[in-house]
Structure 1
Amino acid sequence: MTLLHWATIAPFLLAILIPFLYKYARAIHTGWFVLALPLVLFIYFLQQLPVTSGGGVIHHTVPWVPSLGIDFTVYLDGLSLLFALLITGIGTLVILYSIYYLADKSEKLNNFYVYLLMFMGAMLGVVISDNLIVLYVFWELTSLASALLISYWFHKEKSTYGAQKSMLITVFGGFAMLGGFSLLYVMTGTFSIRGIIDSVDLVTSSALFLPAMLLILLGAFTKSAQFPFHIWLPDAMEAPTPVSAYLHSATMVKAGIYLVARLTPVFGGSPEWFWLLSGFGLVTLLWGSLSAVRQKDLKGILAFSTVSQLGLIMSLLGIGSASLYYGNGTETALYTTATLAAIFHLINHATFKGSLFMTAGIIDHETGTRDIRKLGGLMSIMPITFTISLIGLASMAGLPPFNGFLSKEMFFTGVLNATTLDIFNMQTWGILFPVVAWIASVFTFVYCAIMFFRTFTGEFKKENYDKHVHEAPIGMLISPIVLGSLVVIFGFFPNLLAYTLIEPAIVSILPNITIQDINIYHWHGFNTELFMTLGVIAIGTLIFLNMKRWVQTAMYLKERDPLNRVYDRSLDWLVKGSQGVTRVQMTGLLRDYFVYMCVFMILLFGYTAIRYNAFAIDTTNVSAIPPYMWVVTAIFIAVTISILFINNRITMIIVVGVIGFMVALLFVNFSAPDLALTQLMVETVSVVLFMLAFYHLPELRKEKSKLGFNLVNLLVSIGVGVLVTMLALSSLALGNEANFASISEYYIENSKVLAGGYNIVNVILVDFRGLDTMLEILVLGIAALGVVAMIKLRMTGREDV
C-alpha cells in the first residue's frame, strides 16, 4: 500500500486506539491525542499541491476483489485534493475547538472521537476512491458515522430522532446510488471512475443513461440535502456544535456536491443533467433561505442557510455543465464561470460557515441559550465572538470586501449567463434563473441580519440567562479566529486560490475544456451584478426593518418545515404496514412458516423453469431399476403415508426413524457408505433424543381440522414433491442434451492435486465447499450459545412486570 492509501485509512486505525488512550490517559483530554492526525494529513495533502496544480495526478491501486473489478484505487487530482484539504483542515480546527467545547469530564469522549475519526476517514475515502464500489462503502460509512455523531447525546429524544431521520434518508439515497453505479458497470464494464469517463460514449448512447443518472442523483441529493430531502439536516442540529460545524462546512453535506462534480464529465452536457441540477439547486436555494428567516434558534438559522448555500453550489454545477454541450466553442467561457463560482463558493462556504457554527456554539456554551428571542446586547460582553460573527455573516450575506461577496457576484454572473443559453429551452425558462437567485439572496441577507442584530445589538437582559455571560476562553476562540481570518484573506487576496486549488478542480470537472485565465477581483464596474447586489441590500434592509409585521404571520410562526409532516406520516404508514405484514407472516406456527417457504419455492422455481423451458424428461440413459429397489421404495412410501394415521408420539417417532434408516439404505445402494454412516448416526441419535423428550409430554390429542386446512397441506405437499421430482428429471435430461461433463470427474482429478486429500467427500466439504462448512459451523456455534444462555438464564418471575 502507498502513502496515499495509508493516509485514507489512518483515521480508522487511530479510532481503534482511542478506547485504550481514553482508558489509560484519563488525565489528558482525548482530543489532544486525536489532533495530531488531521494536522499531519493536512500537511501531507498540502505537499501534493505542486502535483495537481501542474496538471498531474496521483494514482495507485491495491487489488481487493479483482474478479469483480473491485480494487482499492486511490486517485488524487485537483478536485479530490480540494476536498481532502477541506476535510483535514477543517477537521483539525474542529477537533481543537471540541477539546474546549467538550471539556466536561462526564462526556464520553472515547465514543465522540471514535465516531469523528470514523467519519473523517469515510469522507477521505469518498473523495479519494476511484472505484465506485469502494466509494459506495465509504459513502455509507459517512451515513453511519454521522448518525452516531448526531445521536451522541442519545439521552435526548431529539438527538435519536435526528440521527434516525438522517440515516433513513441518506441510506435510502445510497441504495439508489448503488443501483446507478451498477448500471454504469453494465454500460462500461468497469467500476473505475477514470475508466467510465474514458468510455463516456458508451454511457451516453445507452438506454440506461437516464436511469443511471436519476439513481445517482437521488443519492447525491439526499446526502447534500437538496429539496425535498433537506428535512434531515435541521434535525441534525441536535449534535454537539463541533459536529455541526464539521458536517456543514466541509464534510457530510459536501459529499453529494463532490459526487455531482466528479460525474459531470459522464452526464454533463445533457439537458436532463442540466435541468435537474440547476432546477433542484435553485428551488433548494430559495426554500432554504425562506425557511431560515423564520427560525428562532441560531443553529436552526445556520442549518437552513446550509441548505440554501448547497442549493446555490448545486445550481452552479448544473449551469456550468452546459459548457460540455458546447465543447470548446465561443460560448464555453461564459458557462465555465458558473463552475468557477461553484468551486470558489465551496471554499468560501467552508470558511464562513465553519466559523459561524463555532461562534453559535460559543454563544450557547457561555450563555446557556441559542434562542434569538432571549439573546441580545452581547457585542460589548463578547467582543471577539462579535467580530468573528460579523465577518462570517457579512460574507454569507454577500457583502464586500469578504470572500462571500466575490463568489456571490460570480453566482449572479453565472445565472445571468444562463439566460443567454440557446439550448435546453432556456430561451423560455432562462429568465427565472436570475429572478430566483436574486429573491433567495434577499432573504439570505435578511436572515444574516436577523442573526447578527438579534444576538449582538439591543439591550442585554441578564435575567434571560442562566449563566454568568462572558467571552469564551482563548482555546475555544482559536479555530473560529483562523476561519474568520481566512474569510478576510480570501476576500482581499482571492487569487491565492486561483491556480493552486480552483483551476485544477475545474479541470477535473470539465476535462478537455480550455479554461480561461482566472482573475478574481472586486470591482467590475457598474454592471448588472453590482445593481443586483445593491438591490439585495436595499430590499433586504426594508424587510428586516419591517420584521414586526412578519412575526405574526403563519409562515414565520411555524419553524418546523412542513415537509416533515410527509416524512412523519410516511414513517407511520411504514410502521403500520410492517406490523400488518408481520402479523400475517409471523404467526408463531411452524406449519405456517413451512407453508410460506414451500409456496415461495414452488412459485420461484416453477416460474423460472417455465420461463426458460427447463422442464424435460429423457429416459434414454437411465439405468434399469433392480427389483429390490421397488420393494425399498414401496416400503418408503407406505411408511411415509402411515404417519398420517398414527396418534401416538412414540410410535410416530419410531416410524419417522424408519424413514431415516431407509434413506441410509438408499445411500448404501448408491455407493455412498460415508453418507449412509452419517445418516445412521444422526438418525439414531435423533430418534433416541426425541423419544426421551416426548415420552414426558401429555398424550397426543388429535385435533379436528377444517377441510380447507387439510387441502392447503395436500396441495403444498404435492406441489413440492412434483417440483423436486421434475427438477431432478429435468437436470438429468438437460445435462444429457447439453452433454455436460459430470462434476464428479473434476473432484476425482483435483482432490489430491489441489487439496492434498484422498477422501473426496472430506475434500469437498473442507476445501471445495469450505465456505459452506464454515457457515454451518457458525450456525452450530450460535445454537450452542443459545443453549448456554438458556441454561444460565434464571427467571425471577418479574421479567414482564
Structure 2
Amino acid sequence: MLHATIWIPFLIAVLVPLTRRVPRLHAGWTVLAIPVALFLYFLMQIQGVRAGEYTLSTIPWMPSLGINITLYLDGLGLLFALLITGMGALVILYSIYYLNKRTESIHHFYIYLLMFMGAMLGVVLSDNLMVLYGFWELTSITSFLLIAFWHRRERSRYGALKSMLITVFGGLAMFAGFNLLYVMSGSYSIREIITQVDGLTGEPLFIPALLLILLGAFTKSAQFPFHIWLPDAMEAPTPVSAYLHSATMVKAGLYLVARLSPVFAGQSEWFWLISIVGLITLLFGSFKAIKQTDLKALLAYSTISQLGLIMCLLGLGSAAAFFPGTEESVLYAMATTAAIFHLINHAVFKGSLFMVVGIIDHETNTRDLRKLGGLISLMPVTFSVALIGAFSMAGLPPFSGFLSKEMFFTALLNIRDLNVLEVKSWLILFPVIAWTASVFTFVYSMILVFKTFTGKLQKEKLDKVPHEAPLGLLLSPVLLVSLAVIFGFFPNLLSHSLIEPAVASVHYGLLPPAETFPVSIHFWHGWTPEIFMTLGVVAVGVILYRGYSRLKFLEREWKGRDSLNRLYDGSLVLMERGSARLTSLYMTGSNRHYLLYIFGFFILALGSALLGAEGITLGMSHYAPLSLYETVVVAVMLLAALAVPFAKSRVNAILFTGAVGYMVTLLFVIFRAPDLALTQMIVETVSVILFLMCFKYLPKLKTVKERSGFRLPNLLIAVGVGLTMTVIALAAMGSSPFPAISEFFLKESYSLAGGKNVVNVILVDFRGFDTLFEIMVLAVASLAIYGLVNLRMEPGVSGRIPGEKRENRALLLRSNDVILRTMSKVIVIIIITFSMYLFFAGHNQPGGGFIGALMTSAALVLMAIAFGMDTVRKVLPLNYRMITAVGLLIAILTAAGSFIFGAPFLSHSFGHFMLPVMGDTELATAVLFDLGVYLAVVGVTMNIIFTIGGDE
C-alpha cells in the first residue's frame, strides 16, 4: 500500500483528461478525492509510527546497481506526508472556486498538481538516494509547469525558468554528493549509510559530500543567496503558491537536512553552515519583506525568512550530536522540536495567508498595498482569517506560532552555552540577530493585515467594488487558521502523535537509550527571558510599524532589482552570448564540417584509447574460408560504396547506398541470420523511399569545385575511420578477457524467457531497456521531423512548401500505373498478413514486433506509392503520432507491471495454458511489450513518411 500512495497521483493524473467528457463536472471534485484518501490513510498510520512500528516496502528496480524503490515510513516521513496530502486537499478545494473553469486550462493544472504531489511523496518516503533524487528533480519539473501555468505572461515564464535553473543546479550538486556517499559506504540506502557513520566521518570525501548535499538543500528551500527564485515564482496562481511555496516544495530542503542529520550532524561544518545560513536568511527575508508593496511579494520574502528560521533551528539541533547519549543531547535536541513544530505552524498560517491574498486579488483585481485599505467592513471574514494568520506568523499569543517562536528563542539561548566549538563568544550574536529579525517579522505581519484592511477604502484605485468572498474560497483558509487556534490552545495534540516520532527520526541513535524524548509544550513557563524577548519584539515592532514609512532604511519603495538578481540576469546573458559565439565558431552550416568534427573526435578518442591500452591483440586467426558467394557479395558491396562519392546525381548516390545495404542483407542470409536479413531489407527499402521524398526539401544539386586543400582532410578522415573500426573489431575478437556472451543467450533464452528466437528474446527481455529507449528516441526523432517540416510551411497551408506547386509534389509518391495499382491491392494484403505472422511468431521463429512493424509500414508505403497519400488517409484515418504514444505507453506499462509482482522493472513471465481450440499454448508477457514496440515503430515510420512526403 505504501507504494500505491506514490503511484496513485500519477495514475489519476493520466486519467484527468477523461473528465472533459463530463462538461458539467469540475475536474477538481474528482481530483480532490485523491489527497483526501491519502491523508486519511496516513492518519491511520500515526498510532503505529508513534509506537515505533515503522513501515518498510521494497520493489526491486535495478538490484545490480543497488537501486531499488524502497519506501520507509517513520515519524519524519509521516509528518511530511500528512502536510503534502492535507495541504493538497485544501488547495484543490480552494482552486475549484479560484480558477475559472471556462477560461483556465484546469485539466492541465490538476495534472501538474497531482504529478507534483506524487513526486513530493516520493521524496519524503524514499530510502534510496537515487530514487529520492529522481523524485527531487521531478518536483522541479512539475513546479516549473505549475509556476508557468499562465504561460502567456512573460513574468510567469521568467519565474518558472528561474526556479527550475536554480533548483536543478542544486539538485545536480546534491546528486554528486549522493554518489560520494555511495563511494564511501557502498550503499544508496539512507538507513544503511546511517549505520556506517562511524566509519565514514574520517573519509576524505565526507566533507565534499556534505557541502554538495547542503547546496541542494539550500537551493530548494530558498536559502540566502539562492532565495532569488522564490519571489519571481509568485507569478504562479495563488493555489500553487499556497501549496508549493508554503507547505511542500520549499520544505523539501528542510526535509533533506533533517533526514541526513544522523549522517552529518557530528560535523562542525554541518552545524555552522546550516545555522549561519538559516540565520542570515531569516534576517534578510524579514527585512526585505517590509519593503514590498505587492502582497504576494511580501509573503514570498516572509516565506524566505520563515524557512531560514526553521533551517537555523535544524542547525542548532544538530549540536546534540556533539554529546551523543548524554543529557546535553536532549537539551540541544529541543531546537529540533521547535523546528518540527514551527514547520507545521508555518504550513498552517502561511497557507491561509496565501489564500487570503488570493481572495483579495480575486475580489479587487489588485495586490498593490498602495491601492488597498478599508476592506475590513466589506470583507470581515477574510479580515478575521488574515488577522489570525498574521498574528500567528508574528509569534503572538494565543496562536500556535507564539509557542514555536518561544521555543526558537529558548534554543538560541541554550546554544550560548555550547563549548565544544570553542567560539562561545560568537554564539551570543545568534539570539541578537534572531531577535532583530523577529522585530521585522512583527512589522511585516502588521503591514499585511492593517494596511490592507484598515484605513480608507480607495474605490477610485480599484477596478471593481470588493465584497466578501464566496464560501468555497473561504472554507480552506478558515480551516487552516482554525488549526492555528486549536494547536495554540492544545499543542500536545501534536506533541505525542507527530512531533516526538519526527524528532526521534532526526536524532536517530543520538539520544540516551532510556530517553524517550517526551515533548511537552505549554503556554506559560513563568517570567522567562523568552517572554521578555517577545515583549521587546512587540514594543519595538509597534514603534517601527507606526513610523516605518518615515524611516529611510525601511522605505517600502524598492527601486530596481537587487544585486543578486542582476547577477543572475547578467550571468544568463553572458552565458547565452558566450555560447552563441562559441557555437558560431563550429556551426558553419556545412555538413562536411560537422562530419569532420564527429569523425575526427571519433578517431582521436578511440584511437588513443586503443594505443594506450595494454594487452591488445588482434584476432587474425580461426576464420572460416571465404566462399564464392561471400566474395561476390563483398565485391559488389565495395564497388557500390566506392561509387557513391563519384555519383553525378542524388538519385544515383541513393541507389548506390541502397545497394550497399542490400548486399549486407545478402550476407546476413548467407550467414543464416534471417531476423537481421529481414530487418536490414525493410530498413533499406523504407530508407531509400525517405531519401527520395527528401528531394523536394533540397536545393538544386550544383557541382562545386573545391580547393585541393579540402580533399586531403576528407581522405584522412575517411581512411582513419575505416582503420579505427577495423582495428576495434579485430581487437574485440582477439583481446576480450571474457567468454562470449552469446553462449549465455543461446543457452538461457528459452529457460529464462520462454523464447526460441534468441534475437527477439534479447530485444524484448535480456536487453529490453535498450529497446525501450530506442523506441523512445525514434518517437522523439519523428516528432522533431514533424515539427521541423511544418515550420517550413506557409501559414494556414498544410504540407506545402513556399513557392512550390502542388502537382509537382504529388509526383514523388503517386503512380498512374494501372498494373502497379492492381497488383498492390493483392500485395499489400499479403505483406500485412506476413507482418502479422512475423509479429506473433517472433518469440520462437524469425520475426518480432520490430520486423513486423517495418513490414506493415512497407505495405502502407506501397499503398501510398500506388494510390497516393490521400487514399491511404481515407482508408486508414489514423493519427500516427497518437499510435506512437499508445505504443510507448503499452511498453512502459508492461515494463512497470512487474512491480505488482515484486519483480524488477522489465521482468517478463511466461507459461503454458490450455486454451479452447488451440490446446496447449505458451503465453508470454513479452508479447505485450513487443506489441508496444510494434505500434511505436509503425507510428514513427508512418509519421515521418506522411510528414515528409504527404499530399495536402
The two structures have a TM-score, normalised by structure 1, of 0.88
Q: Give CA deviations for 1:586-608 in whole Å, capped at 9, x if unaligned.
A: 44433223222212222322343
**Matched residue type, 2:81:** A
Q: CA deviation at 1:248?
A: 2.5
Q: Structure 1 residue 8 and structure 2 residue 9: aligned?
A: no
The correspondence for 2:49, drawn from 43, 52, 55, is: 52
2: distance between equivalents of 1:42 and 1:648?
A: 69
2: distance between equivalents of 1:465 and 1:689?
A: 61
Alignment of 1:287-436 (within 5 A): 287-436=284-433
1: distance between equivalents of 2:742 and 2:281?
A: 63
2:600 is aligned to 599
Q: CA deviation at 1:263?
A: 1.0
Q: CA deviation at 1:364?
A: 1.5
Alignment of 1:112-261 (within 5 A): 112-261=109-258
Gapped regions of structure 1 (runs ≥ 5): 795-801
1:280 is aligned to 277
2:525 is aligned to 524
Q: Structure 1 residue 474 and structure 2 residue 471: aligned?
A: yes
| Aligned residues of 2:75 and 2:498 also touching (Cα < 8 A) | yes
SS in 2 for 1:59: strand
1:741 is aligned to 739
Q: Give CA deviations for 1:459-509 in whole Å, capped at 9, x if unaligned.
A: 222212222222222332222222212212222222222111111110000
| Aligned residues of 1:650 and 1:694 also touching (Cα < 8 A) | no
1:542 is aligned to 543
1: distance between equivalents of 2:344 and 2:160?
A: 27
Distance 1:352-1:148 versus aligned 2 partners, 3 A rule: same
Q: CA deviation at 1:253?
A: 0.8
**Matched residue type, 2:10:** F
Q: CA deviation at 1:616?
A: 3.9
SS in 1 for 2:260: helix
| Aligned residues of 1:418 and 1:426 also touching (Cα < 8 A) | no
**Matched residue type, 1:106:** T
Q: CA deviation at 1:316?
A: 0.8
2:495 is aligned to 498
2:719 is aligned to 718
Q: CA deviation at 1:685?
A: 9.8
**Matched residue type, 1:17:** L
2: distance between equivalents of 1:179 and 1:103?
A: 43
| Aligned residues of 1:185 and 1:191 also touching (Cα < 8 A) | yes
1: distance between equivalents of 2:384 and 2:605?
A: 68
SS in 2 for 1:72: strand
| Aligned residues of 1:647 and 1:701 also touching (Cα < 8 A) | no
Q: CA deviation at 1:630?
A: 11
1:798 is aligned to none
| Aligned residues of 1:53 and 1:504 also touching (Cα < 8 A) | yes
1:583 is aligned to 584
2: distance between equivalents of 1:690 and 1:95?
A: 52
Bigger mean CA deviation after superposition, 631-640 or 77-86 = 631-640
| Aligned residues of 1:57 and 1:77 also touching (Cα < 8 A) | yes
2: distance between equivalents of 1:406 and 1:419?
A: 21
**Matched residue type, 1:523:** W
2: distance between equivalents of 1:436 and 1:209?
A: 31
**Matched residue type, 2:354:** F
Q: CA deviation at 1:380?
A: 2.4
Q: Structure 1 residue 270 and structure 2 residue 270: aligned?
A: no
Q: Structure 1 residue 17 and structure 2 residue 15: aligned?
A: yes
**Matched residue type, 2:232:** D
1:799 is aligned to none
Distance 1:722-1:479 versus aligned 2 partners, 3 A rule: same
Q: CA deviation at 1:297?
A: 0.8
| Aligned residues of 1:294 and 1:559 also touching (Cα < 8 A) | no
Q: Give CA deviations for 1:67-100 in whole Å, capped at 9, x if unaligned.
A: 3333332221111111111122222222222222
SS in 2 for 1:207: coil
SS in 2 for 1:546: helix
| Aligned residues of 1:291 and 1:561 also touching (Cα < 8 A) | no
**Matched residue type, 1:105:** R
| Aligned residues of 1:86 and 1:250 also touching (Cα < 8 A) | yes
| Aligned residues of 2:496 and 2:518 also touching (Cα < 8 A) | no
Q: CA deviation at 1:129?
A: 2.2
Q: Structure 1 residue 89 and structure 2 residue 101: aligned?
A: no
SS in 2 for 1:74: strand
Q: Give CA deviations for 1:151-192 in whole Å, capped at 9, x if unaligned.
A: 222222222222222222222222322222223233323322
| Aligned residues of 1:74 and 1:129 also touching (Cα < 8 A) | yes
1: distance between equivalents of 2:596 and 2:720?
A: 11
**Matched residue type, 1:12:** F
The correspondence for 2:943, drawn from 763, 768, 785, is: 785
2: distance between equivalents of 1:263 and 1:553?
A: 38
Q: CA deviation at 1:354?
A: 1.3
Q: CA deviation at 1:379?
A: 2.1
2: distance between equivalents of 1:792 and 1:112?
A: 36
2: distance between equivalents of 1:784 and 1:718?
A: 36
Q: CA deviation at 1:114?
A: 2.1
Q: Structure 1 residue 441 and structure 2 residue 462: aligned?
A: no
2: distance between equivalents of 1:691 and 1:155?
A: 40
Number of positions where the alignment pairs a residue of Structure 1 with one of Structure 2: 787
2: distance between equivalents of 1:360 and 1:565?
A: 28
SS in 1 for 2:57: strand
Bigger mean CA deviation after superposition, 405-414 or 637-646 = 637-646
1:563 is aligned to 564
Distance 1:73-1:408 versus aligned 2 partners, 3 A rule: same
Q: CA deviation at 1:371?
A: 0.8
Distance 1:269-1:606 versus aligned 2 partners, 3 A rule: same
Q: Give CA deviations for 1:239-263 in whole Å, capped at 9, x if unaligned.
A: 2212211123321111111111111
**Matched residue type, 2:739:** A
Bigger mean CA deviation after superposition, 780-789 or 48-57 = 780-789
Distance 1:32-1:610 versus aligned 2 partners, 3 A rule: same
Q: CA deviation at 1:700?
A: 7.2
**Matched residue type, 1:322:** A
2: distance between equivalents of 1:524 and 1:305?
A: 28
Q: Give CA deviations for 1:699-735 in whole Å, capped at 9, x if unaligned.
A: 9765333354223223323332332233234334424
1: distance between equivalents of 2:465 and 2:578?
A: 51
SS in 1 for 2:286: helix
Distance 1:16-1:653 versus aligned 2 partners, 3 A rule: closer
Alignment of 1:641-660 (within 5 A): none
| Aligned residues of 2:90 and 2:476 also touching (Cα < 8 A) | yes
1:80 is aligned to 77
Distance 1:60-1:657 versus aligned 2 partners, 3 A rule: closer
Q: Structure 1 residue 450 and structure 2 residue 443: aligned?
A: no
Q: CA deviation at 1:424?
A: 3.5
2: distance between equivalents of 1:538 and 1:610?
A: 78
| Aligned residues of 2:320 and 2:332 also touching (Cα < 8 A) | yes
CA-atom RMSD in angstroms:
3.6
2: distance between equivalents of 1:506 and 1:109?
A: 39
Q: CA deviation at 1:779?
A: 6.7
**Matched residue type, 2:945:** V
| Aligned residues of 1:419 and 1:426 also touching (Cα < 8 A) | no
